[in-house]
Structure 1
Amino acid sequence: MKKRWVRAAKGNIETTDLLAQQLNINSSLAEILVQRGISCFDSARDYFRPQMSHLHDPFLMKDMDKAIERIDLALTKNEKILIYGDYDVDGTTSVALAFSFFSQFTSNIEYYIPDRHKEGYGISTAGIDYAAENGFTLIISLDCGIKANDKIAYANTLNIDFIVCDHHLPGDELPAAIALLDPKRNDCPYPFKELAGCGIGFKLAQAYCHTHQLTSDKYEQYIDLVMVSIAADIVPVIDENRILAYHGLIKLNTQPSIGLKALMEISGKHKDYTLTDVVFTLAPRINAAGRMNHASEAVKMLLCTESTIAQEQSLLINLQNTERKTSDQSITAEALALIEDCEILVSKKTTVVYHESWNKGVIGIVASRLIEKYYRPTVVLTASNGLLTGSARSVAGFDLYEALLGCEDLLVQFGGHKFAAGLTIKPENIQLFSDRFENIVASTITDDLLKPEINIDSEIEFRQIDGKFQRIIAQMEPFGPLNMAPIFVSHNVFITGKPYVVGTKHLKLNLKQQNSTIFESIGFGLAEYESLLQPNQPFSVCYTVEENIWKDQRRLQLNIKAIEIDNQYN
C-alpha cells in the first residue's frame, strides 16, 4: 500500500542551533528535539535522563484523598477487599500491581477478572454478585469503571463501595463511587492526562506510601508491570509515561519480576528489551490468556513468587498465544473474503464485518489486520449472549470514539479511545449501525487520512550517520506514541550490488550516496522493490537508523520504511 510521506514542520532555527551547540550534537538531531518540545539544556537533560523524582504528586488527582481514606478504613476494620480489573494487558498488570501491593498490608484481599466471553468488558453484574456472596465490602476497579454507572449503583444497593481507577473517557454523568481516579475527568486537575490504567494503580500505591511514610521501594518494585501496560496500551510515551517506561525497562532488563522473567525466557528473547520488544513479544502472550481462555491465568503468572510455578504458567500462556495466532489468521482470511466478495464493501470508507462464529477474543487483532489491507476505520463483530459484540480500530488522525458517539443510540454500550474501542449492539441494529457509521465517517474523514502516512522528522545525508549519531538516537528511547523513533529521508540514493528477498516479503539491500559509507539495509514488507531498483538509478528512502546485533557483532543498519523511485513525495 502506497504511503504518504509527511515532513514535520521545522522548529525555530535559532533554538535548534543553540541546542545543537549546548549538547554538541548534529543539527538534525537538535531539530528533532525541538520538534518534541525540548528547547534548552535543562529540558534535554530531563528528557535524556528521566528521574523518578519528577513524577507528579499523586494527590493532585481528584478524589485521591477519598480513595486513601476509604482504603485505610477497610484495612483498619479488616474488610474484605476485591481488586477488579479488565482482561487485557493493562487490566491484568493493574490487578497484579494493586493486589500484590495491598497484600503487603492485609490478607483479606482477592482479585477478580471478568470472563471475556461470558461477562464482556468492564464491571459486570456477575462480578458484583460474586463480591456480595463472598462478603466483600470494597471493590477497587482498575482500567474500567468510569462509565459503569448502573453497575456501581447496583453495588451500592448491596452495601459494596467502589474505588474506580480508570483512564478512559467518562460519560456525561459520573458513577456514584466513593472515589473516581481518572485524569480525564473534566474536574481533575492532575497535570498529566495519559496514564495507562496500571499507571493509575501505581499512583494509588504511591499515594498510600506517601500518606503512611513508607519507602518508595514498596511501590517502585512494580514499575516493570507499569512499563508493560504503557507499551501494550499504546499510550503517549511522554511526561510520566516516559519516566515510568524508562525505569521499567531498566528493571525488566536487570531485575524483572519472577513472572515476567519466565515469560521472557519462554519467548526466546532473554535480554536487551525495548518498548517495541515488549509490544511484540510479551504483550501478545499476556493478552492471549484472556483471548483464548481466562485472563486470571496471566495474573497468576505475574504474581508468581516461585520460578518453577512461573515457568509452568508462562508455558501455558505461550501455548495459548500459539492458539491465538492460528485463530486470528483464520478469521482474518474469512473477513477479507467477505469484503472482497462484495464490491460495495470494497468501495466504502469504513469496514463493518460480522460472523456469529468468530472468536470474541481475537476480533480486535482481526480489525487491525483488516486495516493493513483496507486502510479505513474498521469494526469487527461476533455473536455473544444474544447480542453482537465487537472491536473497532481507527486510522491515524481520525477520532473513532467521536464517530461511535454519533451512533450511541444504536449501541447497547461502547467505550474506548480515539483509535480503539469496544462495542455491543443488538442484532437487529447491525445494518442501521453499519450505514450510519459509514455516513458519519464519510462526511468527516479526509482522503489524506485514508492513506497511511509516514511522518518524516528530518532530511539528512548518509555522511551524517555515524556511531555518535546512532548513540544519541538510542538515548531518545523508549520510543512510542509522541516519541517515535526518528524517521529520516534521504534523496539521490543508489543500490550497490543486487537486492534480494528474505523470506517472502522482506528486502535486503545495500545503499549509498555519493561519497558516503555503504549501509546495510532492511525493508520489511518491501519485497516488491527487488526488481524495481536498478544500478545507477537514484531514488529516495525514508528510514530509521538502528544498531543491528548478530552473533555479538554490532553494526549500523538502516530500516527502510518506504521507497520513492521518482524522488517525489508529498
Structure 2
Amino acid sequence: MNNNLKRWEVLGKTSKKSLDIKDIEKILLKNRGIVANTARKEFLIPISPEKLTLKSLGLDKSQVKRAVARIKKAGKKGETIIVYGDYDADGICATAVLWERLYSLGLNVLPYIPERFSEGYGLNAKSIRRLKDENPNLGLIITVDHGIVAGAQVEAAKKLGVEVIISDHHQPTKKKPRAFALLHTTQIGGAAIAWILAREIKSVRDGLDLVAIGTIADQLPLVGANRSFAKYGLVSLNGTQRVGLNALFSEAGIVKGSIGPYEVGFMIAPRINAMGRLVHAIDSLRLLCTKSSQRAGELARLLNKTNLERQRIVEEVVVHARGLVVDTKEIIVLAHESYHEGVIGLAAARLVEEFYRPAIVISKKGKIAKASARSISGFNIIETIRKLEGYLIEGGGHPMAAGFSIETDKIEDFTQKLNKISASILTEDILTKKLKIDLEIGFSNLGQELLALVKSFEPTGLGNPAPIFATCGVTVADARVVGRDSTHLKLVLEESATRLEAIAFGLGGIYQSLSPETKIDIAYALEENTWNGRKSLQLKVKDLKAI
C-alpha cells in the first residue's frame, strides 16, 4: 500500500469561467461549512472572547453560576482551593489561567498538576487524600481539562469533605460524575473553559495568550469559538509580557510579531509538553507564571533541554515500532517494554503520518500497560475503543486521539477484537489519503488580492485548513533542488502567460523527471516570500502530478 499517493478532491465546483474575488471568497467559506451571512461575518471578523455567550459555547449557565457562587463562598470562608490541572499544554495553560485569576482576587488557591507516571491522568483518589492531609482547610477542588469520567474520584473527595467543580471538554461516558458543578462542553478546549470561568468570576482580558497555546496545542478545530480564542489569543501572545514565555521564545528562536499556529504547534507547545512527558509538568507551569527574569531563563533552558531529550526518545520508539508494522488494513497496535510512557502518543502520531492507519502504541510496565491512540479522518478511535470497555481499566479522549490503561496479559485479545469490530469501518476509501482542494483556478487569478483573502482565513488549522488551489496543465520553466541533501524543489512555473515561483518541500527526489517544458498538474497554497527585502507571491506545493 503506497501511503504517499493522495487522491485529489476538488471541493469547490463552479460553472463560471471567470471568477472574481467575491466568488472565490464565497466558495472558500462554503467549503468550510460557512454559508449563512451571519456565519460568514463571524468567521471573517470573529466575536471577541469577552462577548461569547455561555449558550453559544454549549455551557450550562446554571452550572457556571453555581460554580462561581461556590468559589466566592470558598473565598469568604477562607477555604483552600486547589486548581487540579493536567500535564499537557492545554491543561497546564488552563491551570495557569484559573490559578492566576483566583490568586489575583486574594483567594487561598494552589495549583496542582499530577505526576504522569505515579499518579496518572486526571483526578487521583490517593492524591486527593494527600492534598487534604497537607491542606486541612481544603474545601474545594476545581479540575481543568479533565474530570468528566472521574465519578469515583469525585465521590472519594466528597467523603473527605472536599467538593469538586469539574471543567472539561473531553468525551463523556453515559454516567457523569456527581460533582458540585459540571462545566462541560466539547466545543472548546480546557484552557478556554478555564478562561470563561475566570471571566464569569471577574471580567478581564488577561490569559488569552495562554488560551491560544492550549487551543492550538490540543489540535481543536479552528472554527467558531475556537477561532475567536485562537485569533485574539495569538494577538495577545505576540505581545505577551510574560517573562517566561519571552524567555522560551528566545531559547526557541521565535520572533514576536510572527507567532502563528505553526510556531505554537511545533515550537512552543512541544517544549511545554516535554516536562510532563519525561519529568513533571510543574516546571512548565512555573515558566508560564514566574515574574522573575532569571528564573524564566533557567526554566526556558530546562524545557528546551528536556524537549531535545524527548525528541531523541520518540525517534527510538518510532524506529523500533516501524520495524514491527505489518502492511495490512488493520489498526496498528504495538506494545513493548522499552516504549517510554511519556512519548507513546507522539510515536502513535508519527506512525499514523507514515502509514496512514489508526495507531495504538502501548508501554508495557509490569501488570498494567499504558496505551495512547491516534486516528485518521473518518475513524472515531475513542468510540471504537469504548466498545471494548470491559478490557479497559480506565480511558478517555477524542475521536482522533485517546489514552487508556489495560492489563498487560489482555493486550493480544483486545487487539484481535479491536481489529474485528473496526474491519468494516476501515474501508479502502477511509484508508486513502485525500488532498482536499478548495478550487481549481488559473494563474491569472493569483495575485495580491487573493493573497489578502487567504490571509483573512488565518489562523488556519484543523477544521479551517489553509486554502488549497489547483492549476492544471502548468509548464515547468525551470527546476532545481535546494536544501540540505537536496530534499526540496525550487520551481519556476508558467500558465496562461503568467510565471510564478514555487517551493516543493520533500519533493527533491522527482527532480530528474521535471525537464524544462514538462507539463504538470499542481496543488498548492499561496504564501508571501520575502527575499532581500523584496516581497513576492510564491506557491507552496502540496502535490504535483506529471501529465
Mark yes or no: TM-score above 0.5.
yes
Give the whole-Å Cα distance in 2 for the aligned partners of 1:223 and 1:168. Answer: 21
Residue deviations 1:270-299 (CA, integer Å, cap 9, x gap): 121111221111011111111121011100
Which residue of structure 2 lines up, in the alignment, with residue 260 of structure 1?
245
Give the whole-Å Cα distance in 2 for the aligned partners of 1:240 and 1:122. Answer: 25
Give the whole-Å Cα distance in 2 for the aligned partners of 1:129 and 1:530. Answer: 64
Give the whole-Å Cα distance in 1 for the aligned partners of 2:49 and 2:126. Answer: 41
Are 1:164 and 2:166 an aligned pair?
A: yes
Residue deviations 1:516-564 (CA, integer Å, cap 9, x gap): 4332222222222212223222111111001123454422211111112
Structure 1 range deviating more: 35-44 or 447-456: 35-44
Which blocks of at least 5 consecutive residues in structure 2 are unaligned? none
Residue deviations 1:102-131 (CA, integer Å, cap 9, x gap): 101235211111111112111112321222
Give the whole-Å Cα distance in 2 for the aligned partners of 1:518 and 1:427. Answer: 60
Give the whole-Å Cα distance in 1 for the aligned partners of 2:125 and 2:219. Answer: 29
RMSD: 2.1
Q: Say which of 39, 42, 60 aligns to 1:46.
A: 42
The answer (yes or no) to whether the contact 1:505–1:524 under 8 Å persists in 2 is no
Which blocks of at least 5 consecutive residues in structure 1 are unaligned? 184-192, 210-215, 340-344
Which residue of structure 2 lines up, in the alignment, with residue 187 of structure 1?
none
Which residue of structure 2 lines up, in the alignment, with residue 240 of structure 1?
225
Which residue of structure 2 lines up, in the alignment, with residue 83 of structure 1?
83
Report the alpha carbon displacement of residue 40 of structure 1 after superposing the two structures with TM.
Answer: 6.5
Which residue of structure 1 lines up, in the alignment, with residue 59 of structure 2?
61
Are 1:459 and 2:440 an aligned pair?
A: yes
Which residue of structure 1 lines up, in the alignment, with residue 544 of structure 2?
563
Summarize the alignment of residues 74-113 of structure 1 with structure 2, pairs less than 5 Å apart.
74-113=74-113
Percent sequence identity is 32
Which residue of structure 1 lines up, in the alignment, with residue 155 of structure 2?
153
Summarize the alignment of residues 369-388 of structure 1 with structure 2, pairs less than 5 Å apart.
369-384=350-365, 386-388=367-369
Residue 360 to residue 312, structure 1, CA distance change in 2 (3 Å): same
Report the alpha carbon displacement of residue 499 of structure 1 after superposing the two structures with TM.
Answer: 2.6
Residue deviations 1:230-288 (CA, integer Å, cap 9, x gap): 11001111111111111111111123432222211111011211112211110111111
Summarize the alignment of residues 491-570 of structure 1 with structure 2, pairs less than 5 Å apart.
491-504=472-485, 506-566=487-547
Give the whole-Å Cα distance in 2 for the aligned partners of 1:543 and 1:78. Answer: 59
Residue deviations 1:36-85 (CA, integer Å, cap 9, x gap): 34447654443222231674323772211111111111011010001111
Report the alpha carbon displacement of residue 331 of structure 1 after superposing the two structures with TM.
Answer: 1.1
Which residue of structure 2 lines up, in the alignment, with residue 301 of structure 1?
287
Which residue of structure 2 lines up, in the alignment, with residue 139 of structure 1?
141
Structure 1 range deviating more: 253-262 or 268-277: 253-262
Report the alpha carbon displacement of residue 505 of structure 1 after superposing the two structures with TM.
Answer: 6.9
Report the alpha carbon displacement of residue 447 of structure 1 after superposing the two structures with TM.
Answer: 0.6
* Aligned residue type for 2:9: V
Which residue of structure 1 lines up, in the alignment, with residue 469 of structure 2?
488
Which residue of structure 2 lines up, in the alignment, with residue 190 of structure 1?
none
Which residue of structure 2 lines up, in the alignment, with residue 212 of structure 1?
none
Residue 417 to residue 38, structure 1, CA distance change in 2 (3 Å): closer
The answer (yes or no) to whether the contact 2:122–2:146 under 8 Å persists in 1 is yes
Give the whole-Å Cα distance in 2 for the aligned partners of 1:174 and 1:516. Answer: 63
Residue deviations 1:430-481 (CA, integer Å, cap 9, x gap): 1011111111221212111112211111111112111121112111101022
Which residue of structure 1 lines up, in the alignment, with residue 6 of structure 2?
3
Report the alpha carbon displacement of residue 28 of structure 1 after superposing the two structures with TM.
Answer: 2.3
Give the whole-Å Cα distance in 2 for the aligned partners of 1:75 and 1:453. Answer: 53
Give the whole-Å Cα distance in 1 for the aligned partners of 2:144 and 2:374. Answer: 22
Give the whole-Å Cα distance in 1 for the aligned partners of 2:131 and 2:365. Answer: 24
Q: Tell me, what secondary structure is at the counterpart of 2:229?
A: helix
Give the whole-Å Cα distance in 2 for the aligned partners of 1:496 and 1:26. Answer: 31
Residue 243 to residue 531, structure 1, CA distance change in 2 (3 Å): same
Q: Tell me, what secondary structure is at the counterpart of 1:140?
A: strand
Residue 122 to residue 54, structure 1, CA distance change in 2 (3 Å): closer
Give the whole-Å Cα distance in 2 for the aligned partners of 1:544 and 1:101. Answer: 41
Give the whole-Å Cα distance in 2 for the aligned partners of 1:501 and 1:372. Answer: 24
* Aligned residue type for 2:229: L
Q: Say which of 245, 253, 271 aligns to 1:285.
A: 271
Give the whole-Å Cα distance in 2 for the aligned partners of 1:199 and 1:525. Answer: 36
Give the whole-Å Cα distance in 2 for the aligned partners of 1:484 and 1:256. Answer: 30
The answer (yes or no) to whether the contact 2:479–2:492 under 8 Å persists in 1 is no
* Aligned residue type for 1:141: T
Structure 1 range deviating more: 71-80 or 249-258: 249-258
The answer (yes or no) to whether the contact 2:478–2:493 under 8 Å persists in 1 is no
Give the whole-Å Cα distance in 1 for the aligned partners of 2:171 and 2:449. Answer: 42
Q: Tell me, what secondary structure is at the counterpart of 2:42?
A: helix
Give the whole-Å Cα distance in 1 for the aligned partners of 2:244 and 2:346. Answer: 25
Give the whole-Å Cα distance in 2 for the aligned partners of 1:552 and 1:117. Answer: 50
Q: Tell me, what secondary structure is at the counterpart of 1:237?
A: coil
Q: Tell me, what secondary structure is at the counterpart of 2:542?
A: strand
Summarize the alignment of residues 156-555 of structure 1 with structure 2, pairs less than 5 Å apart.
156-183=158-185, 193-209=186-202, 216-217=203-204, 220-271=205-256, 272-339=258-325, 345-384=326-365, 386-504=367-485, 506-555=487-536
Residue deviations 1:185-227 (CA, integer Å, cap 9, x gap): xxxxxxxx41001111011011112xxxxxx33xx11001000
Structure 1 range deviating more: 492-501 or 48-57: 48-57
The answer (yes or no) to whether the contact 2:148–2:168 under 8 Å persists in 1 is yes
The answer (yes or no) to whether the contact 1:501–1:530 under 8 Å persists in 2 is no
* Aligned residue type for 1:509: K
Give the whole-Å Cα distance in 2 for the aligned partners of 1:311 and 1:538. Answer: 53
The answer (yes or no) to whether the contact 1:224–1:256 under 8 Å persists in 2 is no
Superposition TM-score, scaled by structure 1 size: 0.90
Give the whole-Å Cα distance in 1 for the aligned partners of 2:461 and 2:535. Answer: 24
Which residue of structure 2 lines up, in the alignment, with residue 72 of structure 1?
72
Give the whole-Å Cα distance in 2 for the aligned partners of 1:416 and 1:273. Answer: 28
Report the alpha carbon displacement of residue 500 of structure 1 after superposing the two structures with TM.
Answer: 1.0
Q: Tell me, what secondary structure is at the counterpart of 2:424?
A: helix
Give the whole-Å Cα distance in 2 for the aligned partners of 1:440 and 1:513. Answer: 50
The answer (yes or no) to whether the contact 2:384–2:422 under 8 Å persists in 1 is yes
Q: Tell me, what secondary structure is at the counterpart of 2:498?
A: coil
Give the whole-Å Cα distance in 2 for the aligned partners of 1:385 and 1:551. Answer: 58
* Aligned residue type for 1:166: D
* Aligned residue type for 1:201: A
Which residue of structure 1 lines up, in the alignment, with residue 130 of structure 2?
130
* Aligned residue type for 2:228: I
Give the whole-Å Cα distance in 2 for the aligned partners of 1:512 and 1:532. Answer: 15
